[in-house]
Chains A and B, each alone.
Chain A
Amino acid sequence: MTDHKMTDLTKGYPAKDYKVIGKPVPLIDSRAKVTGQALYTDDIRLHNPLIIKILRAPCPSANILSVDISAALALSGVKGVLTGADFKNNFGVLSISKDEPAIARDMVRYMGEPVAAVAAENAEIAAHALRLIKVDYEITEGVFNSKEALKPTDHPLHPELNKKNNLHKEILQEFGDLDQGFSDADVVIKKRFRFASINHGFTEPHATQVQIDNKGNITVYSATQVPHYLHMALAEVLEIPEHNIRVIKPHLGGGFGGKSDPFPHEMIAAKFALDLGRNVKIKFDREEVFFSHHGRHQTDLTMKLGYSRKKGITAIDLDTLIDGGAYGSFGIVTTYYNGVLLQGPYKLPNFRFHVQRLYTNKPMCGAMRGHGGVNPRFASEVLLDMACAELDIDPAESRLNMIHKENTLTTNEFRVTSVGLHNGLTEAIKRTKWKEKHGKLPFGTGIGVACGFFISGSALPIHWNKLPASTVRMTIDYDGGVTVYSGAADIGQGSDTMLAQMAAEVLGQPLENIKIISADTRTTPVDLGSYSSRVTFMAGNASRNAAIRMRRILIEAACDLLEMIPPEYDRPDAPDNFFRQGGRKPDFEQGFLGANPDYADGFIIEDGLIRSEKHNASVTYLDAVTKALEFGGILQTSGTYRAPKLGGKFKGAGAGLSPSYSFTAFIVEVTVDPETGFIKVDKATCAHDCGFPLNPLAVRGQIEGCIHMGLGQALMEEMIYDSGATQNPSFLDYKIPSAFEQPEVDIVPAYSDDSEGPFGAKEAGEGILAPVIPAIANAVYDAIGIRLTQLPMRPDRVLSALAKEREKNQEAGT
C-alpha cells in the first residue's frame, strides 16, 4: 500500500487542550450509512403514494401550441395531469431572477424541460400516460452558444425582459488604474481560454416525496441543500402560507451546488399532493439529472495579465462570456464571482472585469463547487506561470511574494483577515522538493503550482433582510442529553458532526451526548442552507454561541449548588453586545469585532463534573442540569451568527463579501505520454488554510474530494451538446475519474487562526477545487512544454498541441 503521509493538521495551534475539536472524528451518521439504515429521500415510505413522472420536451426550442391531456387523464389509474397552465407563478433561487416556470407554458427553452406531469397509481401507468399526452410544438430557431446569444433578435428566450438579445446579466467593474498597471509590468500576456460545462455528478438523483394531512398541510421530503429557500419558493408558487408547508431534508447523497435551487419537480409534487389529497413521490433517473443540470457554466474568456519582477501581478483585464442556459438560477451571483473572486489570494492593484451571462437553449447552469471562481482562476494561474517562465522566475517563489498579508483590504474592499497560505505554500515547496524538480524533470514528467482563495460564506443574504444568517436552538433534557436544532443541511460534508463538535467542546460533553436535529423547517430555526461554504463559519458560530449561553446557565446553577458567586459576564439576554466581545481583541477597523467570545470562566466541565478551578469544588453535571431545570422546566438557549458590516459603497460592492476567506496552494506532479496524449496526475500536495481544522478527518475528505472533482474538470468531464441536445446524459458517457485516476495525496498544514471563525475555523469545502486544475496545466507545461488553454485537457488536445509545437519548431529550424 502507498504510504500516505498523515500530517497532524492541528500542529502549531495553541489550544492543545481541546477535547473534541481538532480531533479526527468520523461523521456522526457514518454507522447509519455503512449499514444501509440511513434514509435518503427515496427510501422514505409514505402510505400509498402516487408516482409522478414528467414529460420532457424533445427539442431545445419551440412554441407550445397545445397540450392535449385528455387521453392521459382517461387512462385507468391516472389521478392527475399538470401542464404549464396550472402554475401561475415563476420561481428562482435569486429574488432578482425568478424566471423559471414549474412546467413550460408557451415556450420550450431547453431539451428536457418539463411540459407536463402525471400522477398515477404506479410507475408503469404514469409512464404509459406520458405517451398519451399530445403536445403540438412549433419548432423555433434556437440559440446554442454565448456569441450567438449576444446578437440582436426579435425572439429572445425571455421576452418578458424586454431585451433585444439574450443577455441575462452584464457586469463591468474597474478598480485602480489599468493602463498604469500594464505599463508597470515587465511582461504582459493575453490569452483566450475555453471551458466546457460540467455536471456535479452527485450519486443520489433528485427525489421528492410529499405527505399531506387531512387539513391540507404538506410535508415535503426533498433532496435539497437549502430547505429554507425551497420552503419560500413552494409557498410562492403554490400560493399557500409557509406554515402549511414543512420541508425536511433526509440524508442527502451529495449536492456540490446542484441541489441548492428550488426545482420544478418539487413544485409539481407539492401541487399534486394538494390538488389530489394524496401522498406523492418522484425520483429522477440519471438522464433527467443531466437534463436538469444546473452545473458549471460553459465559459469563453480572454484574460490579459501584467506581471512585474518587483511588484508581482500589476493588472488583470478579464472579458468573459458565460453560457447560462435557459434560466437564471444562481447566474447573477456566478457573473459577479467570475470577476471578484480574482481579488485573492494575491495583491491585485489594478483590475477590470467584464462578464456577460447569456441565455441559451440549453439546460441551465448555476452553482457548482467553487462557484464562479474556478474558470477565471485557471486563466490567471496559467498566465502567471507563463509570465514567470518568460522572465525566468520561479513560479512558486513569485507566488509567495504576492500573497495578501493578514488584516488587509483588497482593491475592491474585501476584508482579508486570517491568511495561512504563505506558510502552507512554503511547506509544500519544501515537502515536494520543488526546487530540485521544477524545470529539471525529464521530458514527459512535470511539476506545477497554483493557488486559490474562496469565501467562507456570503456576508449578504440572497433575500435581503436583517435576520441572522444562522440561528441554532439548543436544549438539554433532564438526563443531561444535549440536542442541537439547526436548519443547516448536512449534504454529506459533515455539518451535523461539526454542529455537534461545537456543543460538545463548549459543554464538556462526549460527542455521543449531542443529538442533532437539522434541516427541518418545522422544528429547526432558519439557516440559509448549505452553499457558498457558509455552514462551518456561520452555523458553527451559531451553535458555539448557543452552547456558550447554555454553559453559563449550567455554571450559574453549579454556583448556586456550591453556594458560590457566579463569574461575572454579560447576561445572555444581551446577545449582540456579548457576542461581539471576544477574548481576542478587535484590532483592525470598525466592524471587525471578533465574534469569538472566549468562554474561559474558571470552570472545567468534564467527566460528568462541573468543577471550579479556583475553589477546587465540584458538582455533577447532572445536578447542575437538574438545578437549572427547576426554574422553567425547560433548558433552552439560542445562538446566532450575523456577518459584520463589510464592503465598499459602489454598485456591486456586496458580491464576494465574506467574513473570512480560505486560501489554498497546490503542487501537482504529472506524467504525460507524448505518444497517447494521456495525462496522469501522480501526486497532489495540498496546503489548504481553513483556519483551525475542527475535524482533520473531514478536512482531508474535502481536500481529496476536491482533487477528484478538479481532476475531472481538468482531464475528462464535459457536457456535450449538439444544437442544444444533451449527448452524454449518463455516467457511461459522462466520465468521472475513478480510483485509478485519483493521485496520491499529501496534505500539508497551512496554519492560520481566524479571529471570527468558530474556534478559528474557516471553510474547507470549495476553495480547494479551483487551483487543482491550473496546477495540473502548469505541470503539463513543465512536462512537455505546451500550454493547454481549453478544458478538459483531453488526450486529443494534448496531441494536437504537441503536433503544432513540432510544426512550429520545424519551421523555426528550416
Chain B
Amino acid sequence: MKLLNLTINGRKHTKAVSPSMTLLDFLREELNLTGTKNGCDKGACGCCSVMIDDKPMLSCLLPALEAEGAAITTIEGIAKGNALHPVQEAMIEMGAIQCGFCTPAMVINGVHMLAKNNNPDDDEVKECISATVCRCTGYNSIEKALHLAASKMRRAAHDGS
C-alpha cells in the first residue's frame, strides 16, 4: 500500500492504495464515484474515460498511483450543481442517450474537445466520439448533440465578450 494524493472534482483526497489498483477501481470502489463505467477492463471500449489534468484518459489502464498529484474530473464533476454543461444539455435534447452506459465517457470527451475548439468540423466530432464504443445510438444523435453544444458554447462566448 502507498499513499496517493490527488484532487478529484475539486476535492483533495489522500488514501492508501495498493500498487495494483487501477484508477477506475479507485474511483468506483474507494470513492464510490460510480458514474465512470467499466465496460471492458482493457482500454477497448472507452467507457471509463475521465479527465486527468484536462486530458481524457482511460482510467481502467492507469494504476491509481500514477495519478499522484493530478487533478481529475469525472462525470460527477461536469455539471455545476444543478446547472448542466452544454454538452450534457445537448445530449439530452438530441436523444443521444439510450442505455446511457457510454454517456459519461461521451460527455467527458465532448467537454474536452469543445473546451479546446468550440467550432469543430464533422471529422473532429467523429474523432472525439470514436474514443468510446456506443452500441445503441449509431452515433448520429451524439454527433448532432456535440454540434449543438458547440453552437451553444459559441453563442455564450460571443454574448460574454
Contact = CB atoms under 8 A, between A and B. Distances in A.
Interface of A: 1-2, 4, 24, 26-27, 29-40, 42-43, 45, 124, 200-205, 251-254, 256, 283, 285-286, 491-494, 697-698, 700-701, 704-709, 730-732, 736, 738-740, 742, 745
Contacts of B125: 1, 739
B88 A35 contact: yes
B11 interface: no
A253 B122 contact: no
A730 B44 contact: yes
A205 to B, nearest CB: 7
Interface stretch (B31-39, B51-59, B62-70, B153-161): B31-39
What DSSP secondary structure best describes chain B's contact surface? Answer: loop
B135 A254 contact: yes
A247 B100 CA distance: 22
Interface in B41-86: 41-42, 44-45, 47, 74-76, 78-79, 84
A745 B95 contact: no
Contact of B91 (A30, A39, A200, A204): A30
Nearest to A36: B35
A201 B79 contact: no
A697 B28 CA distance: 32
A203 B135 contact: yes
Nearest to A251: B100
B76 to A, nearest CB: 5
A40 B37 contact: yes
B147 A253 contact: no
Contacts, number: 176
Interface in B8-41: 20, 28, 32-41
B62 to A, nearest CB: 17
A713 to B, nearest CB: 13
A39 B34 contact: yes
Contact of A36 (B36, B92, B126, B142): B36
Chain B: number of interface residues, binned into ranges: 35 or more
A378 to B, nearest CB: 19
A32 B93 CA distance: 14
Nearest to A4: B144
Contacts of B102: 203
Given A203-B101, A739-B130, A35 B136 contact: no
Contacts of A203: 37, 39, 45, 47, 99, 101-102, 133-135
B113 interface: no
Nearest to A42: B38
B126 A256 contact: no
Contacts of B101: 40, 202-204, 253-254, 492
Contacts of A256: 135
B137 interface: yes
Contacts of A39: 34
A-B pairs, top 4 by smallest CB distance, nearest first, are A36-B35, A492-B99, A33-B100, A253-B101
Given A254-B136, A701-B136, A740 B99 contact: no
A27 B136 CA distance: 13
Given A34-B91, A203-B134, A493 B122 contact: no
25 contacts: A1-B121, A1-B143, A2-B122, A26-B97, A27-B98, A30-B97, A31-B84, A31-B92, A32-B100, A34-B103, A35-B84, A40-B37, A203-B47, A203-B99, A203-B135, A204-B39, A205-B38, A253-B101, A254-B99, A256-B135, A700-B95, A707-B138, A738-B130, A738-B139, A740-B126
A148 B40 CA distance: 34
Nearest to B89: A34
Given A283-B38, A701-B137, A26 B93 contact: yes
Contact of A739 (B44, B104, B143): B143
